[in-house]
Amino acid sequence: MSNPEALRQRERALAGQSARGVRPVIRESWLRARAAGVHPDRYVPPVALPGDLVEEQRERHPLATAWPALCTALQWVTRQPAHLLFVSDAEGHLLWVKGDSASMSHAEGIHLVPGALWSEQAAGTCGVGTALALQRPFQVLGPEHYLSAASRYACTAAPIHDPVTGTLLGAVDLACRLEDPAPLVMSLLLTAAHLAQSRLQAAHLQRVSQLRERYADRLTRRAGGYAALVAADGTVIHTNRPRWLPARLAPIPAEGEITLPSGRRAVAERLAGGAFLLTAHDSEPIDGGLRFLGLGRPRARLQVAGAVHDLSRRHGEIVAVLLANPGGLTAAELTRHVYGPAGKTVTLRAELTRLRAVLGHRLLSDPYRIAGPATADFLDFPQPDTAGAALLPGSSAPAVLALRRSPHGA
């Protein structure tokens, strides 16, 4: 259909009259746009995200790892006059836009800019919005756009899904003048979407490998129960016993007790990178409590979650002080108790980060305290006045010295 004829049929269809030569899928999209209240004339999509929010979205969006590869792979296209490359999020917000300066300047007039919302509900029929709505590759040619302001463009878009979970992440779109569309542009966009998903898959495998290398040894130390390392997306990376979990779980929302699909209860402990360590027991309680042994020991011993840990001197001091102050302490207070008045909170926080590998979800902050049932030998009975049975002999931490005089004197 010629362009003037396409424009006439578009006007008839948008006016609710019968129209010839309009693809059914376009007609259905126009109806959705009309139902959403989008006006085809005298309207451009809103710039829903200001500059600072665009930057935040870019930093935390999974497609941030794929955007540089897309720019490199398609740089010969984006150097052509009137060609623009976009990547959106799953809602249709344009996060990245690339093209020559003249094309970018013209695109600003119709809000083809970072932060603009080009979903079908906000912009009607368009490459990004309709590809996201249908969740399949889609091409919109000139007058097929619902907005009159976009009718000079040919837009081809392909959705991008998370290669692990299948979740819709966004879309990649290539826009050009209507008279310039390349015959292989759809194949080009499909290749770009596959490239993005390949980069996401590679990044996922790298994260999984790093987590397994960093934490798998903690699973082997778990005795009398079940343990698993689970990625932020729910992928079960490693277990200490075969087949006690499926290959994938629903993403774990937070630390603490959860119920697994089998009905078994487990405790989730947050690790670096959003991963979790799951521990579960068949018959004994999920969290049998924490037991601290420090009398007469230069290094405290901690019994927790079926494992025994011999703490460093500094970690033993920190745990002892926290157990003696169940209401919690601020970072400044805990620093003074452990290091004295000259101590620095940055040093304390570094130690707490390392200590969290042992205590996990039991170490709470704001204020710092130990959650859940906990006992300590130095709190069981008054301190005998003998060096052999003193709390952490050799420690000079101010609070430990006070605890030796009185177990509740810290």
Q: Where are the domains of the chain?
A: 3-203, 222-280, 290-405
The pLDDT score that the predictor gives to residue 222 is 64
- Cα three-residue angle 107-190-182, rounded to 5 degrees: 55
* pTM exceeds 0.75, yes or no: no
In the sheet with 168-177, reading across from the earlier edge strand, the strands are: 94-99, 84-89, 168-177, 153-161, 138-141
The pLDDT score that the predictor gives to residue 283 is 45
Copy the structure tokens of residue 384: 């005998």
Copy the structure tokens of residue 4: 């003037």
The pLDDT score that the predictor gives to residue 288 is 57
The pLDDT score that the predictor gives to residue 1 is 47
The pLDDT score that the predictor gives to residue 182 is 63
* Multiple choice CATH, 290-405, 2.60.40.1120, 1.10.10.10, 3.40.50.410, 3.90.550.10: 1.10.10.10
**Would you give per-residue pLDDT tens digits along the chain (410 residues)?**
446 676 777 777 777 677 777 889 998 998 898 888 888 887 889 999 988 899 999 999 999 999 999 999 988 888 888 899 999 999 999 999 999 888 888 889 899 999 999 999 999 999 999 999 999 999 999 899 999 888 888 999 999 999 988 899 999 999 988 876 666 788 888 999 999 999 999 988 888 888 888 887 777 766 567 888 998 888 888 888 877 888 888 888 888 888 887 777 888 888 877 888 888 865 444 455 789 999 989 899 998 766 788 999 999 999 999 999 999 999 999 999 999 999 999 999 999 988 987 887 788 888 999 987 889 999 875 544 444 578 999 899 999 999 988 765 45
Report d(CA 196, CA 96) in Å as an integer: 14
The pLDDT score that the predictor gives to residue 286 is 46
Cβ(375)–Cβ(289) under 8 Å? yes
Report H helices in 309-383: 313-324, 331-339, 345-359, 377-380
Q: Environment class of residue 349 by beta-carbon count within 10 Å: exposed (0-12), middle (13-18) or buried (19+)?
A: middle
Q: How many CB atoms lie within 10 A of CB 116?
A: 26
Report d(CA 398, CA 377) in Å as an integer: 19
**Topology classification of domain 3-203:** Beta-Lactamase (3.30.450)
